[in-house]
Structure 1
């Protein structure tokens, strides 16, 4: 004999399904709102323009990679310091959520504010590290900060757990910077960040980037960096402008199959140097 379920049981089941569906929709809407807020934070924290001067050519590309309901915390920045030199930073916050986007804003604003007090890249990263630790956040950020003197073309660089930069010259040389660096920001109290000095040759380029450009499921980090080294070398020899190189590098990032943001900041120089 077959037992036929009552109508009341069916109605109860439908009611439960409707409740669960409504809860799922409400949760998805909350998450969607958080992503939209994180995206707005990202866009609001990126610079509206880039400084110029004395033959310096800067170019940027930024490709946010939204995976599901996650948003990354990469950033780039370029601004003129009180002494006339140009501050350049690029970095990546741990995590992929609204907290990471907000923390990215704190790091970027902190770097800018502290640069008006001490523009030495190593001291600047040390002060920013102490500031972030004082905030008590569980997040951390990797970062490279460079200070460029347009009149002498001297680049001073300090790294906080971030990727090295790529360089190339008009005479066909290219490679990866080998500065020592220190730990990520917001991890170790009293951390020191050594400063390495480079010279930006006429027609040469430096490429600052985040790991979403060179590392992902389809490509190892060393392969990705080699790819950018080749692009930079070709661009410098061919006299390609900074904007075209930045576009080529971010286009190449599609090959890594990344699930992270990708940011590129290219520094070039095509003018005569003025002796100090």
Structure 2
């Protein structure tokens, strides 16, 4: 697993703009190497801001969006089209504005979908989608970039501290119940699935995130701070604004010029 690299931006908007530019470059580079690209999306304020910036970038058209496979790191188990679903927000922010191949957009099932109000069945179905798109005998595709947020208690995707999901060692997707923040029921990738990504980018802003960010980097206890367990096979980036980085030890920060 890769060692984390911390990048600090002056404001949330600058962070989102910089990540958007970095993301377009990463997708172009992946397509130049393999012909396709695979991206895991996240929700939340920062994740959606990144997608909005991608939408507005002139360079976005350097990506052949018809050859990008899109997945989600987690989803709120709500009816299709619900404004709080990560899929709904991603479509508004970017996906409805670019020429995607619908067959390559792999959304998680809603609570009024094929399996009704059964998040376990929805999780199993998503695991099957991942396995079908995996290379050779893998259980998940080769994700080029996995975007993730970080919560105030250190959760990432919908993996919360000392929850059944954070202890999951074999399944790639799980149903999550009794989440400490609404909605209580979700579907999420697990840490083993996340760690297959080539690069994991953890994005967060705000003073309330400073403690968990520093704890994740210094202590690395994924049970207490699940974001600490989100690491890429080739690269792990913590993309922070100045307030979220306020407690990060200097040894983790890039040297000042």
The TM-score normalised by the length of structure 1 is 0.30
Does 1 or 2 have the higher relative contact order (CA < 8 Å, sep 6+)? 2
The TM-score normalised by the length of structure 2 is 0.31
Of the two, which has the highest radius of gyration?
1
